[in-house]
Amino acid sequence: MWVVFFHLYTGTLFRPLSSVFPSTVRWTFQHGALGVQIFFVISGFASAWSVRKAEITGSFTLEFLRRRMVRLAPPYWVALALAIANLEFSNLRHAGAHALPSAGSLLAHVFYLQGLIGFKDIVPVFWTLCIEVQLYLAFILTLLIAWKIGCARLAVLAPTAIVSAALLAWTGDTTGSSATSPWFIHFWHLFVLGALSAWVYEKALDAKWLLGYLALVLIAGTRSRDPGAYIGVLTTAIIWASHSNGALRRTLESRPLQYLGMISYSLYLIHYDVGYRFLNVGQKWTGDSSNAALGWFASGLVASILAAHVLYRLVERPSLRLSRALSSAGDQSRQQLRVQD
């Protein structure tokens, strides 16, 4: 939601909205891009938790990646198609208003490669999907290497985790120059924080290792003045606190938050082409009126949530079910092989 507020607030209605919202709200919305850092930490936790009981063989690695792609790709491809349709529609109303992506750009987007190849994102949020796929790949390969050589997974993870923290300290912050980097290593420390949290949560890792890495990220982020590092540390602290704090856990498990969490991926994908463009249309109709801007802001938010609900029900939820079915089928196959052995 934070990213959604960021895009809706910093769009064409930024000036009139700035005169409506109090300073604390303006500051919060203006820093909404930091929601990406929260997402990477949670993704690391979820990934580590999902494989906590698995034997990380080569076949499981392929299955893990296949399940992730089945989960991520269909909603993403629909959002990509919607973005192109929006561009086409704009060009019908105003000839040549927007250059359509080339075939190469479109193909790169389909396979999460646009940043690595050098194509501009068709929708500004799509760069994070490229990073997320790399994070999944790096994580599961780390676990596979640890399993293959019979080494503790923390020992294999540590070198890249330290490199990521060093990059954070010496080459800039993840909300500034490095935010445009197409390489996962600039965001790896956030994913690692989530993964370490999961290992501590399942009592497979001593908490001192998580605390040590939290301190390292905090020091690196302080040196580069990266607010994303602070958000990553805070998100990790909230994850850990929810384990022992019943009130916080009940709040996070409340129906409204659970619902927003359920549709969050669809909302993230679609809000720009629905809510942001909704505000653009509104601004053309009513100008810079503050009261009208507030109405358009609320309408854009509602429209984004409704569109995300539809995308979730029609595309994302079936993709989740298929991913879980593949996981169950893979578990049964491995059990049969063990019995045969």
pLDDT per position as a tens digit, 252-278: 678 888 888 899 999 999 998 888 877
For residue 251, what pLDDT band results from cuts at 50, 70 and 90?
A: confident
Pairwise CA distance, residues 309 & 304, whole Å: 9
What pLDDT score does 280 carry? Answer: 76
Q: How far is CA 318 from CA 41, 117, 264, in A?
A: 25, 31, 16
Please give the model's pTM, rounded to 2 decimal places. 0.86
Q: Taking the CB of residue 203, how many other CB atoms lie within 10 A of it?
A: 8
Pairwise CA distance, residues 184 & 232, whole Å: 15
- Are 78 and 315 in contact by the 8 Å Cβ rule? The answer is yes
Higher confidence at residue 258 or residue 334? Answer: 258
Pairwise CA distance, residues 228 & 230, whole Å: 5
User: Does the pLDDT value for residue 19 go beyond 50?
Assistant: yes
The tens digit of pLDDT for each residue in 79-113 reads 999 999 888 877 766 666 667 889 999 999 999 99
User: How much is the mean pLDDT over the chain?
Assistant: 86
Distant-in-sequence, close-in-space partners of 152: CB < 8 Å, separation ≥ 6: 146
66: tokens are 């296949």
Amino acid at 122: I
Residue with tokens 């420390």: 189
What pLDDT score does 331 carry? Answer: 54
What pLDDT score does 287 carry? Answer: 75
Higher confidence at residue 280 or residue 205? Answer: 205
Domain boundaries, given as residue ranges, for the chain: 1-30+254-341, 40-250
Pairwise CA distance, residues 127 & 110, whole Å: 12
The tens digit of pLDDT for each residue in 163-211 reads 999 999 987 655 544 456 789 999 999 999 999 999 998 889 999 999 9
